[in-house]
Amino acid sequence: MEAVDRPGLEIIWKADALVRVLSRDGEATVAQLAEAVNEPLSSTYRLLADLKQIGWVERGSKRGLYRLGLFFVRIGGLAEDFVDVRERAIPHLRELRAETGATTYLCVRRGLTGVCIERLEGPGVHALNFRVGDSLMLNVGGAPKALLAHLPIEERQLVMAGLAALPGEPRGPLGGALDDEIHQIRARGWAESDGDVTVGIAAIGAPVFNHRGELEAAVSIGGLRSQVLDVPENGPRVAACAAAVSRSLGFGGEEVA
């Protein structure tokens, strides 16, 4: 991080340095903080006093320890309201469409299904289904299977039991076959779908996580098999796009700026 070379603003840089140490270490003494930010003890005391006054730091669990204040909990909670996965994903979906020439999708989980919440049409052939608002069972398609494979284990088991209990002829794999595929998806980093929704149409999907590491959505591409699955770069491209959307949601923590 470069120092802010504006007169009067060094204080922001110094405050941020303290915040970084405390967010990494949880609690610290003045001496530890002074050393970490390379400032004399006396000015670190002064800075801590100022930060305490505005609620950025508070006294820690023991005498002489400082930690981040409730201010951060409050601001972070409020900030979460303005982080909209759709809005954050669109520029990345656009890039993915340009790279692959395929239609790109953003999909969230609802119950046993994945629902399409954004779709950017590629120039080539695209399936007519999975428009915005459409849903697919979680054991078919690229994005839905990517969602299923990355659900927490208990939820995944509930969903799999729910899918198995559905009436009628199953469309996607169930039981052991589905377990195997989930394994494969997790190991590879993306899910592949080959004509299981629409004959001749293939898809690749990868998961998006929020700042807590919770599954938030999945991105995918869809189109003709030759355009999607026969291009070996597409899997890593979709995975990289999903990772970029995750980062834009704060996944990966401090590295995000």
Partner 1 sequence: MSGAAPMRVLANATDLIELLAGEGALPLVDVATRIGVPRPSIYRLCEGLAAVGMVELLPDSRVRLSTRWLALADAARAGMSEWRGVPEVLAHLVERTGQTAFLSVPYGSSALCLDWCQGRGIDVLAYRPGRTIPLHVGAAGRTFAAYGVPLPEGDLRRLTEKTITDPDELAADRERIRRDGYALSEEDVTVGIGALGVPILAPDGTLRGALSLGGLVEDVRKHCDDFVAELRAGVERLLVVP
Whole-number minimum distance, CB 77 to partner 1, in Å?
A: 1
31, 42, 76, 123: which one contacts partner 1 (CB under 8 A)? 76
Q: Does 79 engage in binding with partner 1 (CB under 8 A)? A: yes
Q: What is the DSSP string of 222-245?
A: EEEHHHHTT-TTHHHHHHHHHHHH
35, 59, 67, 125: which one contacts partner 1 (CB under 8 A)? 67
The two three-digit tokens of residue 113, written as one number: 């299904």
- Within 13 Å, how many C-alpha atoms sit on residue 9's CB side? 6
Q: Which stretch binds partner 1 (CB under 8 A): 48-56, 104-112, 128-136, 158-166?
A: 48-56
In this structure, what DSSP letter does residue 143 have? H
Q: Does 1 engage in binding with partner 1 (CB under 8 A)? A: yes
15, 178, 182, 245: which one contacts partner 1 (CB under 8 A)? 15
Q: Does 70 engage in binding with partner 1 (CB under 8 A)? A: yes
d(CA 255, CA 242) in angstroms, rounded, equals 17
Do the Cβ atoms of 239 and 247 come closer than 8 Å? no
Give the x/- contact pattern for partner 1 in 174-213, rule: CB under 8 A: ------------------------------------xxx-
Nearer to partner 1, 1 or 187 (CB): 1
29, 45, 69, 186: which one contacts partner 1 (CB under 8 A)? 69
Do the Cβ atoms of 138 and 113 come closer than 8 Å? yes
Whole-number minimum distance, CB 14 to partner 1, in Å?
A: 8
Nearby residues of 212 by Cβ (< 8 Å), 6 or more positions away: none
Q: Does 7 engage in binding with partner 1 (CB under 8 A)? A: yes
Instruction: Give the CA dihedral 10, 15, 21, 23, nearest 10 degrees.
Output: -140
Site for partner 1 (CB under 8 A): how many residues?
Answer: 55
Q: Give which of 248, 181, 177, 244 is closest to 211, Cα–Cα.
A: 248
d(CA 211, CA 109) in angstroms, rounded, equals 18
Instruction: Give the CA dihedral 21, 210, 91, 254, nearest 10 degrees.
Output: 10
30, 36, 60, 231: which one contacts partner 1 (CB under 8 A)? 60
Nearer to partner 1, 55 or 173 (CB): 55
Whole-number minimum distance, CB 249 to partner 1, in Å?
A: 6
The two three-digit tokens of residue 254, written as one number: 């401090």
31, 41, 64, 74: which one contacts partner 1 (CB under 8 A)? 74
Do the Cβ atoms of 197 and 136 come closer than 8 Å? yes
Q: At 80, which helix (H) or strand (E)?
A: helix 70-80
Whole-number minimum distance, CB 73 to partner 1, in Å?
A: 5
Residue ranges in contact with partner 1 by CB under 8 A = 1-2, 4, 6-13, 15-16, 19, 22-24, 26-27, 47, 50-51, 53-56, 60-61, 67-83, 210-212, 248-250, 253-254, 256-257
